[in-house]
Amino acid sequence: MTITTASSHKNRTMKSCSLDCAVTAYATSRLSFDEVNLLRKQSDNLPGALGNSVLRHSDEQTLAALATVRDALNQFDSCPEDFRDWGVVCSSRYLGRSAFAQALTKFAIDGPWNVSVQVVPNRSLHSPASMVGLALGCHGPCVGVGGGLDGETDAWITATSLLDQQSLPGMWLVFSGWEPDEHVDLEGNALSESRCTALVMALQPMSVPVHKARLQIQYDSLSPAAVEVPAKTTAFRLFERFLSEESDQKPIAAMLGGGLRADLSWAPVIEASIPLSTPISVPQKKAA
Amino acid sequence: MKQHSVCITGVGLTSSMGHSYNEFSSNLLSQVSGIERVKAFEVKDHPSQIASLIEKIPCPVGYDETEFRSRLRIEQCGIWCAESALRDAGFKVRPEGLRIGLVLGLGAEWMQSWEMDYRRGGRRAFDPTEEPAGLTTKIHRLLGLKGPQLTISAACASGNWALSQGRRWLELGWVDICLAGACDIGVTPLSLAGFGNLRALSRKNDAPHSALRPFDRDRDGMVLGEGGAVFVLERTSEAEQRGARLYADVAGFGATSDAHHMVIPCPEPQQGIAAMRQAFRDADVMPKDVNYINAHATGTPVGDICEAKILEAVLGDAMSHVPVSSTKSLTGHLLSAAAAIEAVACLVALEKQVIPPTINLEDPDPECARLRHVLNEPETLPIDITVSNSFGFGGNNTCLVLKKAA
């Protein structure tokens, strides 16, 4: 952890810390309504093989998150053996809107006995993080953050501060939402064409030998205090820009409000076939 | 990395048992149950018809009453709690440049907002273009806060998480002061039906005051409640310097996940045990040092037994002398805000040196009977260290340790 001075209150001399972590895997998904709902019947192709009966009740954003985690698992240069001690932070946007709209209409017609018991457990803010944690067997903290158009900043802050605080080996950082946000009719059916998007990053301490990018959260007195609503760009689009050729490997910054900013930069490419931290034994040298 | 001691210097709350720390404290220790038959909407077809409801959330001083009443009740709850916490801490006027952060535990903010809006004839659930900013952003703007903000949810453990993150921001130097707490206005027609159909709620509709019976053999589920609590957190050294009232040190926090089921707690208590042990390590306390445990104990048949197993394993030999109670028997289960209101109950215990009891505990379940329960009457004891457990859907386990401020 790097220490830098930063205090705007003249009577206070507190120092402010910046947090750095490594991005060791990432993936993005952009799925149509039909594509994302098809995942309910493809439990075996998703992490944890939770069973179609479990996925049947999941929100579309949770399904997109699971599919994107699956893709990210293939991106590790050195995939951890398990994710037992990892945590999950998930920022979803208006989770469960269409299902809830449907539930409201149904309640007005049928009354309380037909309200599904699955709404609260599967459409609350914590639900996608808990489901990803369940699929990967994560016993670290699994929390939902944000929830609205102004909520993605919460995920950057929380994932990095938890990773630093709790000596976790890694943290899954997940963003999900519909782009554009869905308009639905009284039955909860989408009235306009939208895509369910998800961005997943595996964050690990900077001490890991190989990583793809670096994420830094720091206090910057020039960064704005207020959070923009609606945010100028979603994390998904920000990351797409980061991945695009136009970015020219330049770092990308996001203002998180409260004077905090996130900087995402590519890691230098290390041309080494043996991890630098691993001592080379004599037989290995001979073989080389 | 814990660099600084962090303490609570202000409390703002609203619940069926009062709208200030003193009022809540008095009702808690007099065992005035806030649970009654729901009158706010028609419940004759609901399986559970009782709850712990707030009649009217007070409008903070200086706010326009009409404008305040036009807001959804979840907003009223958050604004009242945050504003009154700042006033309680002596920040009626905030010094220029003070970086105040805001962390709110909100588990179902949008569902509640959509439902309340729908009942008023609105269409926000159907049309995203009508969607305003979230509650945390609204309060951040309204109070003119300059620090970071965060909405966090770990279901019914959200309040403990909020306190933990607020403490973390102070340790990192990201804020000078942090407002941290949780709100939930979860007693709505749909939510009462959803939880009721899940068979998670008590159906003792004819006896509201005695319906919620944590650890009792005759328990049949929880009773929903609404409200919230927000705390002002400061670095202890700075709070002492300005002569603030120190309610307690936020000494330790632990959190784990079951990775077992989205609703049912894991029958194997390892992860709950691990969360408590993490918190104890963080606070540098041993089980024998603990003077009071505010249990999560919601009164569900499965959950209370799971927690009893966790407490037995963690406390070991100390089990016979560490008092345990569930204040949900009086407040109802405030869902996302449960941990926050239970942290207030711990502050009351630390201040008054009195442990609030579990009411309606007449015949302890044999599987929970080995705990040292505080039965039906408050108990006066020396109290320096309190522990509050909060667990939630999705397998969230948290534990918070509050110590008497030096």
Which positions in chain A touch B339 (Cβ < 8 Å)? none
Residues of A in contact with B198 (CB under 8 A): 117, 120
More confident position, A124 or A17: A124
Contact assessment for residue A111 and residue B99, using Cβ atoms and an 8 Å cutoff: no
Q: Which residue has the tokens 């933990």?
A: B164
Test mutation, A61, A115, A234, chain B, max B CBs within 10 A: A115
The pLDDT of residue A284? 38
The verdict on B329 touching A (C-beta cutoff 8 Å) is: no
Which of A1, A17, A97 is facing B125, going by the closest CB pair?
A97
In B, which residues are within 8 Å of A119 by CB distance? 111, 190, 194
Label residue A244 by pLDDT band (50, 70, 90): confident
pLDDT above 80: residue A77: yes
B306 is a catalytic site residue: no
More confident residue, B23 or A188: B23
What is the enclosing helix (H) or strand (E) of B227? strand B227-235
Instruction: Return the HEC string of chain A.
Output: CEEEECCCCCCCCCEEEEEEEEEEEEEEEEECHHHHHHHHHCHHHCHHHCCHHHHCCCCHHHHHHHHHHHHHHCCCCCCCCCCCCCEEEEEEECCCHHHHHHHHHHHHHHCHHHCCCCHHHHHCCCHHHHHHHHHHCCCCCEEEEEECCCCHHHHHHHHHHHHHHCCCCCEEEEEEEEECCCCECCCCCECCCCEEEEEEEEEECCCCCCCCEEEEEEECCCCCCCCCCCCCCCHHHHHHHHHCHHHCCCCEEEEEECCEEEEEEECCCCCCCCCCCCCCCHHHHHHC
Least Cα separation, residue A197 to chain B (angstroms): 16
Q: What is the pLDDT of residue B31?
A: 95
**Among B19, B46, B333, B373, the one annotated catalytic:** B333
Contact (CB<8Å) A183/B263: no
Q: What is the pTM of this model?
A: 0.94
The beta-carbon neighbor of A148 closest among B131, B141, B145 is B131
Query: Given CB atoms, is B115 within the 8 Å cutoff of chain A?
Result: yes
Distance, in angstroms, between A107 CA and closest chain B CA? 7
Digit-coded pLDDT (tens) for A254-274: 899 999 999 999 876 443 333
Which A residues 71-90 touch B at CB under 8 Å? 87
Beta bridge pairs of residue A263: A216, A253
Which residues of chain B are modeled with pLDDT < 70? 1-3
Contact A104 B95 (CB under 8 A): no
Lowest mean pLDDT among A79-93, A221-235, B346-360: A221-235
CB-side neighbour CA atoms (13 Å) of B392: 39
Q: Write down the pLDDT at residue A7.
A: 36
> What is the model's pLDDT at position A194?
93
Which residue shows structure tokens 């089921």? B261
For residue A272, the model assigns a pLDDT of 35
Beta bridge partners of B232: B10, B179
Among chain A residues, CA nearest to B165 = A158
pLDDT digits (tens, 9 = 90+) for B195-245: 999 999 999 999 999 999 999 999 999 999 999 999 999 999 999 999 999
Best of B110, B131, B300 to substitute, by most chain A Cβ atoms within 10 angstroms, is: B110
The stretch A20-39 carries a mean pLDDT of: 95
Query: Touching check for A51 and chain B: CB below 8 Å?
Result: no
Q: What is the pLDDT of residue B406?
A: 79
Q: Is B333 on the interface with A (CB under 8 A)?
A: no
pLDDT at B1: 46
pLDDT digits (tens, 9 = 90+) for A30-42: 999 999 999 999 9
pLDDT of residue A8: 34
Nearest-CB residue to A121 (from B97, B190, B263) = B263
B183 noted as active-site residue: no
Residue A174 contacts B, CB cutoff 8 Å: no
From CA B227, how far away is CA B80, in angstroms rounded?
Answer: 10
Q: Do A112 and B260 touch (CB under 8 A)?
A: no
Nearest-Cα distance to chain B for A272, in Å, is 33
Average pLDDT over residues A214-222: 86
Per residue in B7-34, pLDDT tens? 999 999 999 999 999 999 999 999 999 9
CA–CA min distance B396, chain A (Å): 7
Q: Which is the catalytic residue, given B178, B296, B346, B399?
A: B296
SS3 B101: strand
CA distance A1 to A4: 10
Q: A283 vs chain B: nearest CA distance in angstroms?
A: 40
What are the tens digits of pLDDT across the range B372-401? 999 999 999 999 999 999 999 999 999 999
Compare A203 and A272 and report the one with higher pLDDT.
A203
Asked if A49 has any chain B CB less than 8 Å from its own CB, the reply is: no
Contacts of B146 in chain A (CB under 8 A): 8, 225, 258-259
Which A residues in the span 190-209 are in contact with B, Cβ-Cβ below 8 Å?
none
Q: What is the pLDDT of residue A5?
A: 31
Tell me what pLDDT residue B2 has.
Answer: 56
Q: Catalytic site residue B4?
A: no
Point out the residue among B97, B106, B146 whose CB comes nearest to the CB of A258: B146
Q: What is the pLDDT of residues A150-182, one digit of tens each?
A: 899 999 999 999 998 767 999 999 999 999 988
Cβ–Cβ below 8 Å for B111 and A9: no
Residue pair B391/B398 in contact by the 8 Å Cβ criterion:
yes
Nearest to B155 among A126, A145, A227 (CB): A126
Q: Which domains does chain A have, with CATH numbers?
A: 23-208 (3.40.47.10)
Q: Looking at A193-202, A203-212, B101-110, B394-403, which range is the least confident one?
A: A203-212
A219 CB near a chain B CB, below 8 Å?
A: yes
Q: Which helix (H) or strand (E) holds B182?
A: strand B177-184
* pLDDT exceeds 50 at position A287: no
Residue A150 forms contact with B (CB below 8 Å)? yes
Confidence of residue A252 (pLDDT cuts 50, 70, 90): confident
Res. A220 pLDDT band, cuts 50 70 90: confident
Chain A contact for B238 (CB, 8 A cutoff): yes
CA distances from B398 to A5, B117, B262 (A): 33, 32, 16
Residues of B in contact with A185 (CB under 8 A): 126
Average of pLDDT values for A93-118?
94
Alpha helices in B98-150 (DSSP H): 109-119, 135-142
